[in-house]
Amino acid sequence: MTDFSEMDAYLEAHLDASIAELSRLVAQPSVGAQNWGLAECAQLVAQMLERRGFAVEIIPTEGAPVVFAERQGLSQKTLLIYNHYDVQPPEPLELWDSPPFEPSLRDGVLYGRGVSDDKGQLVARLHAIDALLDAGNELPCTIKFVIEGEEETSSTHLTDFIMQNKARLQADACLWEFGGVDHREMPMQYLGLRGICYVELSVESLSTDCHSGMGGSIFPNAAWRLVWALNTLKGPDERILLPGFYDRVIPPSPRDRALFEALPDVADEYKKRYGVKEFIKGLKGGTELHIAEVFEPTCTICGLTSGYQGPGSKTVLPARASAKVDFRLVPDQRPDEVLDQLRRHLDDGGFSDVQITYLGGDRPARTDPDNPVVELIVRTAEPVYGVPMQIVPMVGGSGPSHPFVHDLNLPVVTAGAGHPGSLAHAPNENLRLDLYLKHARHMVRFISEFGK
């Protein structure tokens, strides 16, 4: 057994410096949806890796550039680490207790957009690498970083990037960008991500808004057209109505079910945290809630906009209306097929006036819970967290893991500094420093053992 006490001491001693480095990274806005600061952030990340002796290349794509970095290690093994430097939009700004791009440390918690998702994870990993290099001057294995800038905007160009760079991305395993503890402070191993197909549906019924007193009885109303079209996608029973939508869905296996049965009931936790009075589809909690959460595909309205939205009343008949809609997909659904199904369904239902703009997608992908790398990352967590890491066979979120799993043929494992109150994607996104340190300690152990 390697003795990690010296490296743990290094991580503690240099924590403030690492958080200062993270704060500089968070202060650089990198909002993909608003095309704000991506190039600057990629540069900053590249410099951070160069300082650690990585060979770094900022590789252009048709969208945001990918930062690719590589440093040889002592063994023949290669770990590919996937992170992203882009963040979600900070809005609504008025709900932040401190400005989203001015990181603020309060009571051992760092607040700011991206501190958790996913700049914190990246810098914690660099912190672990610093400890490994400090202890041994060399990395235990070769480490490659793929750090993209479009994760929050559906990783539109990442699959192409991977297909074009398969040779240099060769590795033995992939460490995913996120991870963390659940509400019991138990470290979790999330295997598998749902896919996604994100679209904007829009209608233009007139060339200009008009007075509702005038046009209400005779003009087509874009907001009504949109509401009616959306209603044909899913009814109050939550069944998605695109013909063929469920054809490729693979139900959970007995092994999946057993893994979920080992997890605690989250019903009360969710009800408290999100103010849910009742779950949909009659779900009450327990294993069925876990399985529904991740093994059922969804159709979610993420946004609606049309006409007058200010205080009080304005009597306007809107010429334009639009909705943001995401479909979460489970193995083996495909975003391109869903897009085709959606167009056909709208046309067949008389809604050819509804335009579809494809805003990105990912295919679902899973890693076998019995893969040895899974066993390793679980085993190396326990000394750090003091409790065994629990395996979750799939999670509800999405990400571009499909090409890593299916084109690079890598097991993908997860670990990170997240917690259920991280508020990723929301105001007051935050990072607990105790979990940041634990993640770094876990990574020191995982990378050491992986390299053997």
Binders of a second copy in range 275-294 (CB under 8 A) = 275-281, 283, 289, 292-294
What does DSSP assign to residue 97? S
Query: How many residues of this chain interact with a second copy, rule: CB under 8 A?
Result: 93
Decide whether 74 or 249 has the Cβ nearer to a second copy.
249
The residue within the footprint of a second copy, chosen from 28, 202, 367, 398 (CB under 8 A), is 398
**Angle at which helices 433-451 and 372-385 cross, to 10°:** 140
Does 203 participate in binding a second copy (rule CB under 8 A)? Answer: no
Q: Number of C-alpha atoms within 13 angstroms, CB side, residue 56? A: 18
344's enclosing H/E stretch is helix 335-348
Report the C-alpha gap between 20 and 14 in whole angstroms: 10
In the set 60, 108, 235, 388, which binds a second copy (CB under 8 A)? Answer: 235
Are the beta carbons of 181 and 385 closer than 8 angstroms?
yes
Residue with tokens 């793929």: 146
Given candidates 52, 248, 324, 334, which one binds a second copy under the rule CB under 8 A? 324
For residue 96, the minimal CB distance to a second copy (Å) is 14
Q: Which residues are bridge partners to 317 per DSSP?
A: 210
Based on the shown chain and the rule CB under 8 A, indicate whether residue 314 belongs to the binding site for a second copy: yes
Judge whether 285 and 293 are in contact, CB under 8 Å.
no
36 binds a second copy per the rule CB under 8 A: no
Two structure tokens written together for 301: 């309205």
Q: CA-CA-CA-CA torsion for 432, 436, 438, 444, nearest 10 degrees?
A: 180
| Burial (Cβ within 10 Å: 0-12, 13-18, ≥19) of residue 226 | buried
Q: Which of 165, 305, 339, 371 binds a second copy (CB under 8 A)?
A: 305
- Stretch 46-75 residues interacting with a second copy (CB under 8 A): none
Residue with tokens 């007051």: 428
State which residue, 402 or 442, has the beta carbon closest to a second copy: 402
Sole binder of a second copy in the list 99, 136, 220, 264 (CB under 8 A):
220
Q: Which is nearer to a second copy, 21 or 152 (CB)?
A: 152
Interactions with a second copy, residue window 237-276 (CB under 8 A): 270, 273-276
Q: How far is the CB of 375 from a second copy (least distance, A)?
A: 26
Is position 89 an interface residue for a second copy (rule: CB under 8 A)? Answer: yes
Helix 286-295 / helix 254-261 crossing angle, nearest 10 deg = 130
Q: Which of residues 91-110 bind a second copy (CB under 8 A)?
A: 91
300 binds a second copy (CB under 8 A): yes
Considering only residues 6 to 35 of the shown chain, the ones binding a second copy according to CB under 8 A are 32-34
406 DSSP 8-state letter? I
Cα(276)–Cα(212) distance, integer angstroms: 36
- Taking CB under 8 A as the criterion, the residue among 216, 244, 372, 421 binding a second copy is 216
Cβ proximity to a second copy, 21 vs 296, nearer residue = 296
Of the candidate residues 179, 192, 360, 400, the single one contacting a second copy (CB under 8 A): 360
Instruction: State which residue, 3 or 92, has the beta carbon closest to a second copy.
Output: 92
**Distance from C-alpha of 452 to C-alpha of 443, rounded to nearest angstrom:** 14
Site for a second copy in 134-153 (CB under 8 A): 152-153
Which two three-digit tokens encode residue 64? 């945001």
CB of 63 to a second copy, least distance (A): 11
Distance CA(361)–CA(399), nearest Å, equals 9
> Closest separation between CB of residue 55 and a second copy, Å?
32
